[in-house]
Amino acid sequence: MLESVLVANRGEIALRVIRGARELGIRTIAVFSEADRGSPHVMHADEAYCVGPARASESYLAVDRILDVARRSRARAIHPGYGFLAERGDFAEAVVDAGHVFVGPSASTIRAMGDKTEARQRMAAAGVRVVPGTHTPLGSRREARRAAESVGFPVVLKAAAGGGGKGMRVVRGVNEVGGAFDAAVRESEAAFGDGSVYVERYLERPRHIEIQLFGDTHGNVVHLFERECSIQRRHQKLIEEAPSPIIGPEERRRMGAAAVRAARAVDYVGAGTVEFLHAAGEFFFLEMNTRLQVEHPVTELVTGVDLVEWQFRVASGEPLPLRQEEIPLRGHALECRITSESPFDGFLPVTGVVDEFAPPDGAGVRWDGGIARGSEIGLHYDPLLGKLITWAADRRGAVQRMKRALGELRIGGVATSAPLLGRIMDEPDFREGRLSTAYLPEHPDLLADAMSSQEREALIAALALLEHRRREDRAAPRIGGGGTPLSDWQRRAHG
């Protein structure tokens, strides 16, 4: 087993990896920016090192600074988490060249799957069905127009070098192609430093279903069944669940087999995910994520497998702990992403200080978060505060448990996505599993700026508390007749 690991990330994923490592007796090293000096992942690590200012490009994305900390702390391995450097082939290569173990797939695998056009070529060659479209980048407006007409409208222009909805444009007619091509190229260049785009058929109301994979250095590859991630906002997932409400045993077997073929085609080692679009009873390869996913906890709850533990065992050279037929599938799990956004105001990002924090608990409830009371929420990083996960014997029970847990979650000082997620738990189509990637646009009432009675009571309580604190502030003594109210210890210090 590895004796030490540097976690090259922050927030809830850094804390998740640190806890998993410590349970295996692995010494943990955290890195942090100046903005994250007091973050929970820093407090829980055995050692922690500042790698720069708040700007990610000068801290969490600064490869030379992270490798310098790894050298100084004598870290045997580096775990990238997800986001930031997790899917950068050059980072994986630099880690290995510096003499450390990279907890993830090889640099060549990351590069192959990071280029969406090369990924499509490899999957097609491996017999994995891909969405009809081009397998090479488009060179001009004219080429894009010809390709779109050949594939058939509607089509989507997509960035070859990235994902997450960046560099993506839906085109419904030939007259839209030129402008959409220019916009996709510009956005792709800005987001990924690569303006390459390709075209594929646009599936109007697909379900987004992904398969969790794991490979080791001994040639073993298994899948850990599927997750449904169809409820999204601008291609960003909001709710995930396992298993999918519509996938039966035979289709589960076929999708799992396709994902394993995909992994073998690129000699996959470690945790990864093959994402599919599912429409009209068919499924098509979308992309492969060469890392642990945000939504991995739902797979852990329905299989009983600790995916972070498996990552460390595989990185240590051990074979996979279970064979395919030994991996169970039991019950149902849901995950809600709790973000610092105002869903009823166009999902505007929100800043502030967390002045109240109380996660729910009880049977079948799990909170994976990276915040605590006093955490400062800024605009430097992704707005994900944490994930609320529930498990029950069936989907109906998991949904009802999630509704209860969302109602008990208390995060004060910043607006979050929790009220919207609570509404979704009550929505009939969601409760019956009638989902697609068009779910939110087709249910605009969920985003209407109208509060439920529970939300109204919470707002009234919050406003009353705020007014009470303002009155206390006005009554508190101040230094020199102005400035900030004194705390109790300041009052005692100043006599």
Contact by Cβ (8 Å): 239, 421: yes
Contact by Cβ (8 Å): 59, 83: no
Q: How far is the C-alpha of 445 from the C-alpha of 423, rounded, in Å?
A: 10
Contact by Cβ (8 Å): 204, 154: yes
Q: How far is the C-alpha of 415 from the C-alpha of 284, rounded, in Å?
A: 37
| Chain-centre distance for alpha carbon 291 | 10
As annotated, the active-site residues are 291
Which segments of 33-97 are extended strands (E)? 47-50, 77-79
Q: How far is the C-alpha of 362 from the C-alpha of 347, rounded, in Å?
A: 30
> What are 168's two structure tokens?
């993506």
> What are 147's two structure tokens?
């390709």
The contacts found for 424-427 with CB under 8 angstroms, 24 or more apart, are 424/231, 424/238, 424/239, 425/399
Closest to 19 measured CA to CA, from 307, 340, 388: 307
Beginning with the edge strand found earlier in the chain, give each strand of the sheet holding 197-201 in spatial order: 169-171, 155-159, 197-201
Residue with tokens 């690590």: 45
Beginning with the edge strand found earlier in the chain, give each strand of the sheet holding 270-279 in spatial order: 282-289, 270-279, 207-215, 221-233, 236-242, 332-339, 384-392, 365-369
Q: How far is the C-alpha of 329 from the C-alpha of 487, rounded, in Å?
A: 53
Contact by Cβ (8 Å): 308, 293: no
Residue with tokens 């220019």: 182
- 273 beta partners: 212, 289
- DSSP assignment of 99-144 equals T-EESSS-HHHHHHHHSHHHHHHHHHHTT--B-SB-SS---SHHHH
Query: What are the C-alpha distances in Å from 52 to residues 86, 96, 132?
Result: 19, 23, 44
Residue with tokens 């990238």: 80
| Distance, first Cα to last Cα, the chain | 56
Closest to 414 measured CA to CA, from 346, 366, 352: 352
* Pairing relationship of beta strands 341-342 and 207-215 according to DSSP bridges: unpaired
Task: Indicate the residue type of 296.
Answer: H
